[in-house]
Structure 1
Amino acid sequence: MLYRVEGIVIRSMDYGEGNKIITLCTENGGKVGVLVRGAKKAKSRHAALTQPFTYGEYVFFRNQGLGTLNQGEIIESHHLLREDIIKAAFASYACELLDRVLQDDETGTFWFKQLKACLGALQEDKDPAIIIHLYEMKILQSTGYAPELQACISCGRERPDEEYFISPGLGGVLCRACKHFDPPAMNITPRALKLLRLFSALDLQRLGNISVREETKAEIKVIMRAFMDQQLALKLKSRHFLDQMEKYGL
């Protein structure tokens, strides 16, 4: 059967001497694997369609399993992301994270729109850390692990922001009276809590310019890392690379 989809390349790998297999996050068909014959050859007319982060229209034959590309057209190459090591690292993390959580048979509309918005924001030079943490929040929400940030996850009571701790293990904020249910629960400043609530309510497609203090960004990074580790427990090569970049001051 012949398919025509709009999709974003979230993974690209060599296959054989001259071919590539790409994984697309599509708007209406979920996650799809497509074989692109001859993509590694210098004069291949399809080579550009296999580049990571490329958003395009793909036409392929598929009975079951892997499809085979017939033709395609680039809508947005996102070449600026591939030319900047920092942007490329964050974009790779966004794509790998989505690849790991999105199952082949899942509808991809929401995921597609969030990834498209994420890559667009990175290309527009918005703060990559803020973009990625907002994107992570959308991932947590869509996988059913959205943190409870309004009331205590244990007793259900709303308290002043100054009285909350944050518990990645239990999945939300804890009041002082319930702190004993998770002794390792982390301190959280009211400023960071408000930012997390903003992440929870805001759609990436509506992200404007957000100015965040460096100390708040550092706090949010620790908290979001803990939530991703506790709730999804994914080991991602791209995140390790981001950590290495930070370690060496890139």
Structure 2
Amino acid sequence: MVRGGEAGMLHRVEGIVIRCMDYGENNKIVTLLTKTGGKAGVLIRGAKKVKSRHSSLAQPFTYGEFQFFRSTGLGTLNHGEIIASHHGLRMQLDLSAYASYAAELTDRALQEEEASSFLFEQLLACYTALQEGKDPAIVLHLYEMRILDLAGYAPQLEQCLHCGNVMGSFKLSPGSGGVLCSRCEGRDPYGIPLGEGVHKLLRLFKGMDMRRLGAITVKESTKAELKRCMRALMDAQLGLQLKSRNFLDQLDKLV
């Protein structure tokens, strides 16, 4: 916060646009994931006008510096500068779908005033990885794991949830939030058999910072298994109905 006035306090934040909606004839309201203060809603006047100097700041996935006045509730943009437009993510339908899913997941999983500079860095790294051409499915599954972790639902993958066994084959028990060994797998009739490759990937993802993701190549069969596991975990632990995920599924069917 910089100074006060009749319009409220002037805030200056770094933020990523995770949601935007039209407001009135010429304006837009954006939801920012800020670096230091959680989510913030900001009204950008005239953003729908072609010649508006602020229209680019109202684009999805834009990373910028935003200055806005706010007393309570919604802020009103005073000035802004783009740091990274992530233009490439809006130009390709598949990348746009993946980036939208990451944005909606972040928006829905994060409480209004919940601040996390780590989550901000993870989303930024997610968009950077997508734009650099890294496998979008792998990028998103890693980001999902970060969301589960930050929400307090990181799965137990190192040992059997029930007996602590670390040897042999395992099944994933999404509802219990972890793995069961062959002796205990009967405790969850809906358990998903885990291939060694997928189990290794899940363990790797659990501790990995998005910023450390290098070039990674995963077989299609392993990716399909990984998707099934991550979907089951997300549904059982967070239970969010996301429009963007439905669209991703439609897209997958076309490929």
User: Which of 208, 212, 220 in structure 2 is aligned with 1:206?
Assistant: 212
Other-structure match for 2:184: 178
Distance 1:188 1:158 in 2: 14
Tell me which amino acid in the other structure corresponds to 1:23.
T
Distance 1:47 1:63 in 2: 24
User: Which of 45, 57, 68 in structure 2 is aligned with 1:49?
Assistant: 57
Tell me which amino acid in the other structure corresponds to 1:246.
D
Matched, 1:221 2:227: yes
User: Which of 15, 19, 24 in structure 1 is aligned with 2:27?
Assistant: 19
Distance 1:82 1:56 in 2: 16
Other-structure match for 2:236: 230
Other-structure match for 1:38: 46
Other-structure match for 2:78: 70
Q: Deviations over 1:10-35 (max 9, x none)?
A: 00100011110000000001100000
| Residue 73 of structure 1: how far off its partner (Å) | 0.2
Distance 2:118 2:161 in 1: 27
Distance 1:47 1:108 in 2: 27
| Residue 54 of structure 1: how far off its partner (Å) | 0.2
Instruction: For 1:163-174, list aligned pairs within 5 A.
Output: 163-174=169-180
User: Which of 137, 144, 150 in structure 2 is aligned with 1:136?
Assistant: 144
Q: Which runs of 5+ in 1 are unaligned?
A: none
Distance 1:40 1:164 in 2: 53
> Is 1:25–1:108's contact at 8 Å kept on the other side of the alignment?
no
SS at match of 2:179: strand
| Residue 165 of structure 1: how far off its partner (Å) | 0.8
> Is 1:165–1:176's contact at 8 Å kept on the other side of the alignment?
yes
RMSD: 0.7
Q: Deviations over 1:172-214 (max 9, x none)?
A: 1101111121111111101110010110111101110011111
| Residue 67 of structure 1: how far off its partner (Å) | 0.3
SS at match of 1:2: strand
Distance 1:191 1:182 in 2: 22
Distance 1:94 1:80 in 2: 15
Instruction: For 1:75-114, list aligned pairs within 5 A.
Output: 75-114=83-122
Distance 2:149 2:164 in 1: 19
Tell me which amino acid in the other structure corresponds to 1:100.
R
Same amino acid, percent of matched pairs: 61
SS at match of 2:224: helix
Tell me which amino acid in the other structure corresponds to 1:50.
A
| Residue 60 of structure 1: how far off its partner (Å) | 0.2
Matched, 1:5 2:13: yes
> Is 1:9–1:52's contact at 8 Å kept on the other side of the alignment?
yes
User: Which of 28, 31, 35 in structure 1 is aligned with 2:36?
Assistant: 28
Tell me which amino acid in the other structure corresponds to 1:46.
H
Q: Which runs of 5+ in 2 are unaligned?
A: 1-8
Distance 1:22 1:108 in 2: 19
Normalised TM-score (structure 1)? 0.97
> Is 1:164–1:187's contact at 8 Å kept on the other side of the alignment?
yes
Distance 2:214 2:166 in 1: 29
Distance 1:3 1:186 in 2: 48
Normalised TM-score (structure 2)? 0.96
Tell me which amino acid in the other structure corresponds to 2:227.
K
Tell me which stretches of 4 or more aligned residues in structure 1 moved more than 4 Å.
Answer: none
Other-structure match for 2:254: 248
When the two structures are aligned, how many residues end up with a matched partner? 247
SS at match of 1:219: helix
SS at match of 2:172: strand
